[in-house]
Amino acid sequence: MCKHACGMIRIMKDFIYNLKKFRFLFWELVKKDIKLKYRSSVLGVFWTLLEPLLTMIVLTLVFSNLLGKGDDNFPVYILCGRLLYSFFSNGTKVALKSVRKHGSMIGKVYVPKYMYPLSAVVSNYIMFVISLVVLAGVMIFERVPITVYLLQAFIPMIIILIMTMGVGLILATYDVFFRDLEYLWTVFLMLIMYTCAIFYKVDNLKTAANEMIFKCNPLYSLITMFRDAVFGRSIMSDPYHFWFSLCFSLGVFLIGILVFWRKQDKFILYV
Amino acid sequence: MRWKKEYKKEYKKECMEDNNSMENPVLNSKPVPSVETSAGIAETAVPAVLDITESSAVSVPLTPAAEVPVKKKKKKKKKLPPKVIVVENLGVKFRIQEQKVDSLKEYFVRLVKRKLNYKEFWALKEVNLSIRKGDRVGILGLNGAGKSTLLKCIAGVLKPSEGSVTVKGNIVPLLELGAGFDKDYTGAENIFFYGSMLGYSKAFIKERFNEIVEFSELGSFINVPVKNYSSGMKARLGFSIATIVEPEILILDEVLSVGDAKFRKKSSKKLTKMMKKGVTVLFVSHSSEQVLANCNKAIILEHGHIVASGKAEKICAQYEEMIGVKE
């Protein structure tokens, strides 16, 4: 028992020491992702804003007559879902490849390996936060009233960060051993996208079976909460969304840390 | 190699007591059984325990014996520099998949009886080594002898399957210079990126930035993406970044041959300067000449075992003999 405790303390000590030593590396990795993403493009970082705006316009044009009937704020509705979903999908995709991408370095210099997936998620998160400017612009343009409830939007934003990190850690770990995961995950992301209600309203297709599907999707819960905050409602109007997404995210994050921590010494043999 | 286990403990004790007085303490201490290497040389074997001490006159060109702070230990009669690297009973096991699986059916068949598919392979086995501060140790061996695996374990990159590695002090690995660069980044950005990878702080890199650029002789190329660099330029930049700190332990994996003749001279001058300051060096090479020129101690690895250890000259001679026989 005592031995076990000593071991844990030593691990924590090493962890903190390494965190201090390599915190500059973490931000360098984040910076590198952002800098290089748009380096060769003409508009550069403006694409962070332009891309969601253009997608929103396309989706609005296609779907507003079909599924969003009679709603003036449909573009804002779409943009909320689209921003959160694209952060989750980009974040997990980049995290998934991160360990393999830095494979050559893993075999040469000692660096805490969790830096790779986590920095990938954080760099995507920063781009996500920047792209919220578009949302603000569209909200003003569409004359969505700005209320105190908007401040609550940071709660789903924090939960989604934890969730993406957790999922990213798990994916990064297993992708090292099982390369097919990359393609499987792309398909799975599509499934998540269609059950997120990004470009349609759930009320329009309410049946008991459908509702179950939405209730199983934590990302849907997060998007709903985010929309509630944007449209001036309390995010706790349906507490289920809050508790479910929070518990799911924390659980996934813990599992992610455990899985990654247990497998990280084997990475070098497979990358 | 069975004798190893039996004698190991005794050797250790003797080595611990004192071995400065004898030329090769370990050799003199026991009637050492001969080892039959696969090539069939009957060498007098030196046991796997290598306790290298900072001993007297070694005729190495670049070595005024380093003056290092000596830790006092009550029980010891002579002052020895502290051990900075201790490798105990190290073993590294790899699993090799014997056949490539190319059909899904075969994959599932193999999944069920997975264990049969792998062949175990020990890249290192029962390696014991302790290196004191200021030693410059050459690691000799043929391809696949486990040299790089040993270095990876010491660098903390590879976790050993058994045994332990204890390292005191910061390590700078000079392996495949420039491997950590991002090709889309410019040289200047890579200085920060690669530097952070080696664990330097931002303030430190900023402070030394000019020094790095100057030493690398890249001039205006520093603002060009690394993908447009020649391999020599990359190596120069990598060398300049890695050696900007004064490391306590330096790992050199056949890097002394980088760049053009001019830079080679400059870099070996810098390394020599470091060695004089009492840096512990681990130097991997196939060439006994290089080891002789740079090291005061050496070991020979063969099939994952240490087959010989001791002073550089002696070991190099033995190594040449070994190669000669094999040819």
Q: Do A21 and B199 touch (CB under 8 A)?
A: yes
Q: What is the CATH number of the domain that holds B307?
A: 3.40.50.300
Contact B296, B288 (CB under 8 A): no
Q: Which domain holds residue B275?
A: 2-88+131-170+247-326
Mean pLDDT throughout B160-171? 84
SS3 B258: coil
Strand order in the sheet with B118-132: B118-132, B83-97, B162-167
Average pLDDT across chain A, whole number: 87
Neighbours of B26 (CB within 10 A): 22
Distance CA B312, CA B299 (A): 8
Residue B98 — very low, low, confident or very high, per pLDDT cuts 50/70/90?
low
Query: Quick check: is B242 in a domain?
Result: no
Q: Do A265 and B159 touch (CB under 8 A)?
A: yes
Give percent above pLDDT 90 in chain B.
3
pLDDT at res. A86: 93
Query: Quick check: is B120 in a domain?
Result: no
Q: Do A111 and B184 touch (CB under 8 A)?
A: no
CA quadruple B200, B203, B208, B210: dihedral, nearest 10: 130
Distance CA B280, CA B274 (A): 9
Residue B27 — very low, low, confident or very high, per pLDDT cuts 50/70/90?
very low
Distance CA B247, CA A202 (A): 62
Mutate to test the interface with B, among A110, A180, A264, A267 (most CBs of B within 10 A): A110
Chain A CB within 8 Å of residue B202 CB: yes
Chain A CB within 8 Å of residue B180 CB: yes
Distance CA A237, CA A224 (A): 10
Considering only residues A249 and B289, tell me which one the structure prediction assigns the higher pLDDT: A249
Query: Quick check: is B204 in a domain?
Result: no
pLDDT digits (tens, 9 = 90+) for B297-310: 888 888 888 888 88
Average pLDDT across chain B, whole number: 72
**What is the nearest CA distance from A36 to chain B, expressed in angstroms?**
7
Query: Quick check: is B251 in a domain?
Result: yes
Count of domains forming chain A: 1
Mutate to test the interface with B, among A20, A36, A38, A108 (most CBs of B within 10 A): A108
Tokens of A191: 């499934």
Q: Which domain holds residue A84?
A: 24-270
Contact B267, B258 (CB under 8 A): yes
Query: Quick check: is A9 in a domain?
Result: no
Residue in chain A lying closest to B197 (CA)? A25
Residue B70 — very low, low, confident or very high, per pLDDT cuts 50/70/90?
very low
Residue with tokens 């520093």: B222
Query: Quick check: is A2 in a domain?
Result: no
Of A73-87, A123-137, B11-25, B222-236, minimum mean pLDDT range: B11-25
pLDDT digits (tens, 9 = 90+) for B195-212: 888 888 889 999 999 999
Query: Quick check: is B117 in a domain?
Result: no
Q: Do B182 and A36 touch (CB under 8 A)?
A: yes
Burial B166-177 (b: 16+ CB within 10 A, else e): ebeeebbbbbbb
pLDDT at B76 exceeding the cut of 90: no
**Partners of residue B184 in chain A, C-beta under 8 Å:** 36, 39
Count of domains forming chain B: 1
SS3 B301: strand
Choose the most confident range, by mean pLDDT, from A67-76, B214-223, B242-251. Answer: B214-223
Count of A–B CB contacts within 8 Å?
A: 58
Chain A CB within 8 Å of residue B169 CB: no
pLDDT at res. B71: 44
Considering only residues B3 and A93, tell me which one the structure prediction assigns the higher pLDDT: A93
Q: Do A108 and B192 touch (CB under 8 A)?
A: no
Choose the most confident range, by mean pLDDT, from A35-39, A178-182, A249-253, B222-226. Answer: A249-253
Query: Quick check: is A1 in a domain?
Result: no
Residue B87 — very low, low, confident or very high, per pLDDT cuts 50/70/90?
confident
Residue B23 — very low, low, confident or very high, per pLDDT cuts 50/70/90?
very low
Strand B136-141 to B118-132 pairing = unpaired
Q: Do B197 and A109 touch (CB under 8 A)?
A: yes
Tokens of A41: 């493009």
Distance CA B12, CA B130 (A): 11
CA A259-A267-B197 angle, 5° bins: 105
Residue in chain B lying closest to A39 (CA)? B184
**Partners of residue A265 in chain B, C-beta under 8 Å:** 159
Q: Do A109 and B155 touch (CB under 8 A)?
A: yes
DSSP per position, B46-80: PPS--B----S----TT-PPP-------SS-SS--
**Can you give the three-state secondary structure of chain B, one letter per residue?**
CHHHHHHHHHHHHHHHHCCCCCCCHHHHHCCCCEEECCCCCEEECCCCCCECCCCCCCCCCCCCCCCCCCCCCCCCCCCCCCEEEEEEEEEEEEEEECCCCCCHHHHHHHHHCHHHHEEEEEEEEEEEEEEECCCEEEEEECCCCCHHHHHHHHHCCCCCCEEEEEECCCEEEEECCCCCCCCCCEHHHHHHHHHHHCCCCHHHHHHHHHHHHHHHCCHHHHHCEHHHCCHHHHHHHHHHHHCCCCCCEEEEECCCCCCCHHHHHHHHHHHHHHHHCCCEEEEEECCHHHHHHHCCEEEEEECCEEEEEEEHHHHHHHHHHHHHHHC
Residue in chain B lying closest to A108 (CA)? B157
Query: Quick check: is B276 in a domain?
Result: yes
pLDDT at A56 exceeding the cut of 50: yes
Query: Quick check: is A66 in a domain?
Result: yes
Residue B97 — very low, low, confident or very high, per pLDDT cuts 50/70/90?
low
Mean pLDDT throughout A21-34? 89
Considering only residues B119 and B49, tell me which one the structure prediction assigns the higher pLDDT: B119
Strand B249-253 to B280-285 pairing = parallel
SS3 B266: helix
pLDDT at B84 exceeding the cut of 90: no
Query: Quick check: is B157 in a domain?
Result: yes
Chain A CB within 8 Å of residue B95 CB: yes
pLDDT at res. A22: 87
pLDDT at A182 exceeding the cut of 60: yes
pLDDT digits (tens, 9 = 90+) for B264-288: 888 888 888 887 888 888 888 777 7
The candidate with the shortest Cα–Cα distance to B188, out of B237, B259, B242, B235, is B237
Query: Quick check: is A108 in a domain?
Result: yes
First to last CA, chain A: 36
- Is the Cα torsion angle A111, A113, A116, A119 positive or negative in sign? negative
pLDDT at res. A168: 96
CB-neighbour burial class of residue B42 (10 A; exposed 0-12, middle 13-18, buried 19+)? exposed
Query: Quick check: is A12 in a domain?
Result: no
pLDDT at B50 exceeding the cut of 50: no
Residue B103 — very low, low, confident or very high, per pLDDT cuts 50/70/90?
low
**Partners of residue B207 in chain A, C-beta under 8 Å:** none
Give percent above pLDDT 90 in chain A.
44
Contact B304, B145 (CB under 8 A): yes
Q: Do A108 and B159 touch (CB under 8 A)?
A: no
